Amino acid sequence: MKLSAGSVENVSVHSSQVNIDGKTALRITKDPLVVAFDEPTFSRVKGVELENGIIEVSVLSRLLPDAPEFSRGFIGVAFRINDSNSEFESIYVRPSNGRANDQVRRNHTVQYFSFPNYKFDRLRKESPEKYESYADIGLNEWIDLKIVVKDSEARLFINGNKQPSLIVNDLKHGNNRTGAIGLWVDVGTEGFFKDLKITKE
């Protein structure tokens, strides 16, 4: 699916169609008025809903010039978004953590969260290590994300790897949920998305 400004509905983000590395991509940044983390800050893809299936997209993350010190290049995908954008699941990456010299930061490269009740900080506190993992990725490089969603499970595959980088066996909104797909970013991120492919089961 070719992404363009007209193919998405922005929710607390700004988007524009740009040319990067000779290819067309969608540039997305978070609305600075939204200060909380792990919020509905995405470009919602029009005309597509998914219950079970596969979401594939290439992402590239840079830090904005005014990005706060704690920025990590947060970028990923929201899925099963309800009509009011008040409930959804999400998997995202922190590219600047992937090659950090601090092992703890590396362990927090990949993240699952569920809006509104299970943001990263609650999950990290109540279930440490369960919803986060390591991946060899970095800023300013294309990263291929593949999320396989099946009932209450989701698996993230990165850059064509045969083994998942993250396995979530208990999506917090459970089974039988159908919703939209969103291209998600958080604070300090200049995010680029291209080559979106959605395969319904």
Helices (H), the chain: 103-107, 120-126
Per-residue model confidence (pLDDT) at position 128: 96
Tell me the C-alpha distance between 152 and 175, whole Å.
Answer: 5
User: What number is the average pLDDT over the span 54-73?
Assistant: 97
Nearest to 91 by CA among 26, 145, 23: 145
pLDDT, tens digit, 9 for 90 and up, residues 105-158: 999 999 999 999 999 999 999 999 999 999 999 999 999 999 999 999 999 999
Per-residue model confidence (pLDDT) at position 1: 85
The average confidence (pLDDT) of the chain is 97
Return the percent helix, strand and coil in the chain, to nearest 5. 10, 50, 40
Sorted by where each starts, the structural domains of the chain and their CATH numbers stand as: 5-200 (2.60.120.560)
Per-residue model confidence (pLDDT) at position 21: 85
Per-residue model confidence (pLDDT) at position 2: 82
- Cα-based torsion angle of the residue sequence 73, 76, 82, 85 in order, rounded to the nearest 10 degrees: 20
> pLDDT at residue 179 above 90?
yes
pLDDT, tens digit, 9 for 90 and up, residues 18-49: 999 888 999 999 999 999 999 999 999 999 99
Helices (H), 10-131: 103-107, 120-126
pLDDT, tens digit, 9 for 90 and up, residues 66-96: 999 999 999 999 999 999 999 999 999 999 9
Q: How confident is the model at residue 55 (pLDDT cuts 50, 70, 90)?
A: very high
